[in-house]
Structures are given as C-alpha cells and as structure tokens.
Amino acid sequence: MQQIELRKHTVPGQVEQTSGKIKILLAILLGLGGVTFGLQIWLSGQIATAGEDIHRLEAQKDVLELENARLTEKMNEEITLAIVEEKAKEMGFVKVHPDQIEFVDSLESFASLSTQ
C-alpha cells in the first residue's frame, strides 16, 4: 500500500491574513466591550442622579403637603370667623375695634354712637 501524503498548500501571507483578521475581530470585540462597560457606568450614574432627584422631590412634596394642610386650616378658620361675624351683624353686634364688639339695636344707633 502506498501512503499518500496530503499537504495543505498555503500561499505565503495567507496565515498572516487570517491572523490579521482575528486580531481585527478581537480589537472590535474589545472595543465593543469597552463601550458596553462605559455605558454601564454612565447609566449607573444617571440612575443614581435620578434617585437623588426623586428623594429631593419627595421631601419637597412632604413640605408642600404640610404647608397646604396649614393653609387649608387657616382658610377654614377665616371662613368660620366670617360666618360668625355675619351672624353677629344680623343679631345687632358690630365690631367697633378689632378687639371690641358692641351690641347695638340697629345700624342707625351704631351710626349715632360713632358720631359721639
């Protein structure tokens, strides 16, 4: 039997071309990996910044809700006082001074009191 030896014929430079293509492919993959890594770091920073903004806005929300409750209570007190003052006028009481209320029979008698 005769052994046939098969040899792969290589053209000079073909190995170098294949090696160069592998190097280019590796460089592209490393570049994409670097871009991906950088993008992850950037996104982490964006998420952290958004978290800080959310925390700050929630703190502002709490302060504004407290302020709103205080103003609503004050408004309700003023409305109640205005209703009481109107009822008092109907009953014949007149405010002659911010701290003093007097009873008068009618507005005409109040006018006569204020001219004295």
Domain ranges, ordered by start, for the chain: 15-115
Q: Which residues pair with 100 in a beta bridge?
A: 97
Considering the chain, what is the average pLDDT of its residues?
81
DSSP code, position 10 = -
Rounded to whole angstroms, the Cα distance separating 100 from 97 reads 5
Look at residues 65, 85, 84 and name the one whose alpha carbon lies nearest to residue 73. 65
Task: Assess whether pLDDT exceeds 90 at residue 87.
Answer: no
pLDDT of res. 12: 57
Contact at 8 Å (CB) between 84 and 95?
no
Residue at token pair 């504004």: 64
Rounded to whole angstroms, the Cα distance separating 89 from 92 reads 5
For residue 50 the two structure tokens come to: 């958004």
- pLDDT, mean of residues 91-101: 72
pLDDT of res. 94: 73
Lowest mean pLDDT among 4-8, 39-43, 93-97, 105-109: 105-109
Judging by DSSP bridges, how do beta strands 100-103 and 93-97 pair with one another?
A: antiparallel
pTM for the full model? 0.43
